[in-house]
Amino acid sequence: MKIALIIENSQAAKSDIVHDALTSVVEPLGHQVFHYGMYTPEDKASLTYPMNGLLAGILINSKAADFIVTGCGTGMGSMLACNAMPGVFCGLVVDQTDAFLFGQINDGNALAMPYAKGFGWAAELNLQDCYRKLFEVERGVGYPKERAAVMAKNRGILKDLKAASCNDMLDVLKEVDQDLLKAAIAGERFEEYFFSNAQDEAIADYLRSVLRS
């Protein structure tokens, strides 16, 4: 699985903590982590939480990433921005119970976490526990098990509702403020990671034109 990590500007100072916690759990499981920034508070490319959502939409819809790990001060803004995008199903994860139930019941493709609120002593241990509860087990099998079929049906209904209520991602990219789009893909490693992994040529071609403009 290709996991994309996205950190917004207010929490960029914690980038290494989050990245180390994530890689320590998922890389031994055979997953790859692609850190799209921010890396430090001094980065030239500064990501806001709306940009987190836009970048998540790009990565999921182009299949450059299979799963998004993001967040902000409370996690709420990044969650809302991600869920505004077609094809992105993002849960707010505060603790390991949230992580387990989100994986088992909702089986989404993105999570947002609070990196300021409640981020105190041994916070990195909570991050690791959350990632374990999500990535070490098979997702989408239901909890409790006797409701697994109902939960799977509801996930399908939600997917159909999202498809009906959202524009195609390429249309989103063309209609969104182009300065916002340019800022969202301005990270120093975006081109390296994205163009080597993206599987949707139409999205990739459009973003090439944006980067050249």
The enclosing domain of 158 has a CATH number of 3.40.1400.10
What is the arithmetic mean of pLDDT over 57-74?
A: 98
Task: Indicate the number of domains in the chain.
Answer: 1
Helix-helix angle 76-83:49-61, to 10 degrees: 40
pLDDT digits (tens, 9 = 90+) for 80-130: 999 999 999 999 999 999 999 999 999 999 999 999 999 999 999 999 999
* Res 192: pLDDT: 98
pLDDT digits (tens, 9 = 90+) for 131-154: 999 999 999 999 998 999 999 999
- Rounded CA-CA distance 52/72 in Å is 9
Give the domain range for residue 124. Answer: 2-212
Question: In which order are the strands placed within the sheet that holds 2-5?
Answer: 32-35, 2-5, 67-72, 110-114, 90-92
